Amino acid sequence: MLEELIVAGFGGQGVLSMGMTLAYAGMVEGKEISWMPSYGPEMRGGTANCITILSSNKISSPILSSFDTAIVLNQPSMDKFAPRVKPGGLVLYESGTILQPTSRTDIDVIGISATAEAIKMKSPKIMNMIILGAYLHLKPVVAIESILEALKKVLPEKYHHMLPLNEQALLRGEELVNSELREGVMLVC
C-alpha cells in the first residue's frame, strides 16, 4: 500500500494538522509514514502545504513532485498542485473557496462545500475534518477509528471534549461525498 498525498491551502485552514492527523493514524496502523510541511513565514499569511506519505514499505524520499491525491483548499493551491496529480489520481477541493477547479479529465476532481458546512456546524475550525472525512471515504487509506485514535495525540488534552464534534465532521464529510457522487460525478476509475 502506498499513498502519496499533498494537502495545501491558506495558513489558518488547518492544512498541516490534517496531514499530521493522517500521519498519526497511519502510525496507529503500523504503517510507514512521512510528513513534510512547507514552512516559512506562514504566520505572515501566505499558503501552507504538507506532503504526507503512507506506505507499507520503508519510505525513501519525503519530497515528491507528483501525487496520488491533492487536497486543495484555495485557488492558488488548486492551480499549483492539480497538474501534479498522477493520471488516475484524485483532486479533492473546498468548493466554497475554489471557483475554478482543474479541467483535467484523467483524474477524479471532487469539490466539497466544507466551509459552509462547518459554519452550519457552528465551528468553522473543523472544516478540515469534514474534508478529511470526505477523503477517507473516497480513499480509505486508514480507518476512521485510527483517525480518532490519532486525534487524541494531535489535540492537546484540553480539547479532547471536541473529539465527538470531530467525529461528526468526519462523518459529515462522508455524506457530502456520497451526495456529490449521487449527483452523478463520474469517477474515472
Partner 1 sequence: MEENTTTVAPKQRKVKGKVEIDIQKCKACELCTVECKEQALKLGDSLNIKGYRYIIADNERCTGCVNCALVCPDAVITVWRTNVKKQKVNVTPEDVREQLKGNIVGSL
Partner 2 sequence: MTEIKLMKGNEALAEAAIQAGCDAYFGYPITPQSEVLEYLAREMPKHGRVVMQAESEVASINMVYGAAGAGFRTMTSSSSPGISLMQEGISYIAGAELPCLIVNVNRAGPGLGTIQPGQGDYFQSTKGGGHGDYRMIVLAPASVQEMADHVYLGFDLADKYRNPVLMLSDGAIGQMMEKVEFRPYKRPEVDKSSWATTGKPKTRSRNYITSLHILPEKMEEHNLKLEEKYRRMREEEVRFEEMNTEDAEYLFVAYGLCARICQKAMDIARSKGLRVGLLRPITLFPYPYQRVSELADKVKLMLSVELNSGQMVEDVRLGVNGKTKVEFFGRLGGMMPTPESIVHHLETLILSKNGN
Partner 3 sequence: METNGSTDVLATDINQEYEVVYRKPSTLVDVAMHYCPGCAHSLVHKLIMEVVEEMDIQEQTIGVAPVGCSVFAYDYMDIDMQEAAHGRACAVATGIKRLMPEKYVFTYQGDGDLAAIGIGETLHAINRGENILIVFMNNAVYGMTSGQMAPTTLPGMWSTTTPGGRDVSFYGQPIRVSELIAQLPGSFYVTRQVVNSSNGVRKTKKALQNAFRYLQMNKGTCMVEIIGNCPSNWKMTPVECSDFIDEQMIKAFPVGDIKVPKL
Select the residue interacting with partner 2 from 3, 10, 11, 36 (CB under 8 A).
Answer: 36
Residue 45 touches partner 1, criterion: CB under 8 A:
yes
Select the residue interacting with ligand SF4 from 39, 43, 58, 100 (CB under 6 A).
Answer: 43
Residue 41 touches partner 3, criterion: CB under 8 A:
yes
Residue 137: CB minimum distance to ligand SF4, A: 37
Residue 45 touches partner 3, criterion: CB under 8 A:
yes
Question: Please, which residue, 53 or 73, has the CB nearer to partner 1?
Answer: 73
DSSP string of 121-180, one letter each residue: TT-GGGHHHHHHHHHHHHS-SS-HHHHHHHHHHHS-GGGGGGHHHHHHHHHHHHHHHHHH
Select the residue interacting with partner 3 from 30, 43, 57, 183 (CB under 8 A).
Answer: 43
Question: Please, which residue, 48 or 112, has the CB nearer to ligand SF4?
Answer: 48
How many residues sit in the footprint of partner 3 (CB under 8 A)? 5
C-alpha 65/C-alpha 39 separation (Å) is 17
CA dihedral 159, 116, 5, 152 (to 10 degrees): 10
**Residue 42 phi/psi, 5° resolution?**
-55, -45
- List contacts with ligand SF4 (CB under 6 A): 43-44
- List contacts with partner 3 (CB under 8 A): 41, 43-46
